[in-house]
Structure 1
Amino acid sequence: MDFIDRLSGLAGGSMSRGAPAQKLFSLADLSPAVQTHLQEVYLTLAVALFLSAGGVYVSALTGFAQGLGMIGFLVSVPWMMSVPASPGTLRKRRMLFGTAAASQGLLVAPLVRSALALHPGVLFTAFAGTAGVFACFSAAALLSPRRQYLYLGGLLSSVLSTFMLMRVASFFFGGGALLFEAELYGGLAVFSGYVVYDTQVIVERCEAGLKDPLRDALDLLVDFFAIFARLLVILMRNAEKKDRRQRDGEERDGGRQRQRTTRSYRM
């Protein structure tokens, strides 16, 4: 609510007192060190997205499946986390980070290939929508008072744990379709919240002197692809429903046309 009140107050002030609009997006509350660190983190995230796109492209050419991506991600991420962040280990950690980013691309590649084969138009919409959601929630975290959203960590982790327990229970009691809907839309909300939480954690870690752009960018990369995958599935399902309604309408129109033709022939 504080973020919304801040937006309303700044918007009202700009109309009544001519306050400059750039105050709305001012990061003056962040120290120069934090601002510099955030620039490094988002630049590293951009590189990671490029590497992930390369992973999708390699998967399309070679047919590498999700299994290889899962192995690469599960090996490279803990390995990178176990290596201390220092100038001497920077090259090694960068290689592990690049492996994790490319593996993330391999993980999402089958879904991207399905979208390209069935509804290619939704792919760009999903990416643009994910970027928009990511930017908005990141701005909410950066423009809100410090530590305001750190409590979300426990809440979001609890929701994910609940989803995991529900998935295990579905193997014994059924209800997989309902669980899929809950994970799809609930997961979209949860990982949008993680963008806010992780962004504020990055700021607090930097203020405490813990600067690790690779680790911070990796956290945001996981959030980005979690949102992207769910949003892409939602858009593909909506496109499929639209196509189905269109086919049903064409079939009904064709049936009416055949009936009229039959009547005319009999006359």
Structure 2
Amino acid sequence: MVTLTEKITNKNHWFQSFYQTIQLYARRLLLTISSEHFTKTHLQEELCRYKVWLHNQTGRNWQHNYDLSQISESCLNMNIFHHSIRFHALFKFSQISHSTQLHLKNVYSCLAVCMFVAAAGSYVHVVTRLFQGGLLSLLCSLGMMVWLSMTPHNSETEKNRLAILAGFAFFTGVGLGPAMDFVITINPSVIVTAFLGTSIIFICFTLSALYAKRRSYLYLGGTLMSGLSILFLVSVLNMCFGSAILFKAHMYMGLVIMCGFVLFDTQLIIEKAENGDKDYVWHCVDLFLDFVTIFRKLMILLAMNEKDKNKEKK
């Protein structure tokens, strides 16, 4: 039998899942509005980079109308055992320009700062209780995100936008407080496990996007948005039925979709940076929400599994 306390707790998680889906929709809407269309010049840039690569490999100058059959057999059939292994090449992304690599450093630096600020927001809710997470923190987080999107990116507004980003990260961390309260009652170590698992997932999918061919994962955009639509409908239905199985299915499906968004957002940021969009503050928002969403879903799933194991032992 399910007690009244468990019913209330499950209902709160269903409402939080519904609010989080709305937040993802708002983020994707703002992303669509701020995105730029790509032109045919990208193909020409790729051809130029490939021509430089061919010149470095064969020592010959290649024209735009080059014939791939002219590449020597010694270049195509290189014996790797005659060459020394250079591990520093693992950290070189030849398909990404130097300016874009510097832009990514700024993005991930802001992401690291947002993690600390969000941790401080969660600490305020869990320990000090000065500010409680809930609908108010969600509205404040959405308000900060809209404010940030409406503030133009330039040198004069850079400090203001960083401050808005810090406020957004703080309220997002406060919003994680209720979920953390639920997890702490079961097993506090789940929070650490979920954070480490989220970090591993995020790093692996980020490296996959960085090492993969440019724009190879951008086709996932339509599929991922369709997945978000399904998540929204499942959240609405679950608010009416209150099914634990439907809730778990929603969490697992959301976890898979957000892993796909890490691939999509990373390559989209690279393409925007290659086309002159150096708004690292707004790009940080995309990756930060991906990380937080994966962390929240993974933490709740681990806590629910731990709770089921405790019931079986009793």
Distance in 2 (alpha carbons) for counterparts of 1:217 and 1:197: 14
Deviation at 1:238, TM superposition (A): 1.7
Q: So what's the TM-score if we normalise by structure 1? A: 0.82
Deviations 1:222-253 (Å, cap 9, x if unpaired)? 00011001100111112112222222xxxxxx
Aligned AA for 1:69?
S
Distance in 1 (alpha carbons) for counterparts of 2:207 and 2:82: 24
User: Which consecutive residues of structure 2, in runs of 5 or more, have no partner in the other structure?
Assistant: 1-78
1:195 is aligned to: 262
Are 2:107 and 1:49 aligned?
no
Deviation at 1:18, TM superposition (A): 5.5
Distance in 1 (alpha carbons) for counterparts of 2:133 and 2:81: 55
Distance in 2 (alpha carbons) for counterparts of 1:176 and 1:118: 21
Alignment of 1:1-267 (within 5 A): 19-60=85-126, 61=128, 62-170=130-238, 174=241, 176-247=243-314
Deviation at 1:74, TM superposition (A): 1.4
Report the CA distance shift for 1:105/1:181 in structure 2 as closer, same or farther (over 3 A): same
Aligned AA for 1:222?
L
Structure 1 residues 175-184 or 81-90, which shifts more?
Answer: 175-184
Deviation at 1:23, TM superposition (A): 3.8
Distance in 2 (alpha carbons) for counterparts of 1:15 and 1:159: 46
Report the CA distance shift for 1:63/1:210 in structure 2 as closer, same or farther (over 3 A): closer
Distance in 2 (alpha carbons) for counterparts of 1:16 and 1:111: 56
Deviation at 1:113, TM superposition (A): 2.4
Q: So what's the TM-score if we normalise by structure 2? A: 0.70
Distance in 2 (alpha carbons) for counterparts of 1:155 and 1:56: 32
2:17 is aligned to: none
User: Which consecutive residues of structure 1, in runs of 5 or more, have no partner in the other structure?
Assistant: 1-12, 248-267
| Contact 2:238 2:247 survives alignment (8 Å) | no
Aligned AA for 1:28?
S
Aligned AA for 1:114?
F
| Contact 1:122 1:235 survives alignment (8 Å) | yes
Aligned AA for 2:123?
Y
| Contact 2:234 2:250 survives alignment (8 Å) | no
Report the CA distance shift for 1:91/1:25 in structure 2 as closer, same or farther (over 3 A): closer
Report the CA distance shift for 1:166/1:239 in structure 2 as closer, same or farther (over 3 A): closer
Deviation at 1:176, TM superposition (A): 3.4
Report the CA distance shift for 1:163/1:28 in structure 2 as closer, same or farther (over 3 A): same
Deviation at 1:94, TM superposition (A): 1.4
| Contact 1:73 1:104 survives alignment (8 Å) | yes
Deviations 1:201-239 (Å, cap 9, x if unpaired)? 110000000011111111111000110011001111121
Aligned AA for 2:100?
V
Deviation at 1:175, TM superposition (A): 6.9
Aligned AA for 1:182?
A
Distance in 2 (alpha carbons) for counterparts of 1:178 and 1:109: 24
Report the CA distance shift for 1:117/1:86 in structure 2 as closer, same or farther (over 3 A): same
1:229 counterpart SS class: helix
Structure 1 residues 87-96 or 102-111, which shifts more?
Answer: 87-96
Aligned AA for 1:81?
S
| Contact 2:131 2:174 survives alignment (8 Å) | no
